[in-house]
Amino acid sequence: MTVAAGCSYLSRSTTSPGPTASPGPLLSVETRGGHCIGGTCGAIVVLESDGRVRTGEKPPNELGTISPEDLAGMTALIESTDFAAIRAHPFTDTCPVAFDGQEVVYEFTTSGGVERIESCVTEVDPRHPLFAAVTAVLESFISLPTE
For 10-67, how does the pLDDT look when each residue is reduced to its tens digit (9 = 90+)? 433 434 444 444 478 999 999 988 777 776 688 899 999 999 999 988 777 999 999 9
Nearest-CA neighbor of 119 among 84, 89, 75, 140? Answer: 89
Closest CA to 79 of 115, 44, 45: 115
Residue-range domains of the chain with CATH: 25-138 (3.30.1560)
Contact at 8 Å (CB) between 44 and 56? yes
1, pLDDT greater than 60:
no
* pTM recorded for the entire structure: 0.80
The phi, psi pair for 83, rounded to 5°, reads -70, -30
Predicted confidence at residue 4, as pLDDT, reads 36
Number of H helices, E strands in the chain: 4, 7
pLDDT in tens, 85-137: 999 999 999 999 888 888 999 999 999 999 999 999 999 999 999 999 999 99
Indicate if the pLDDT at residue 146 is higher than 70.
no
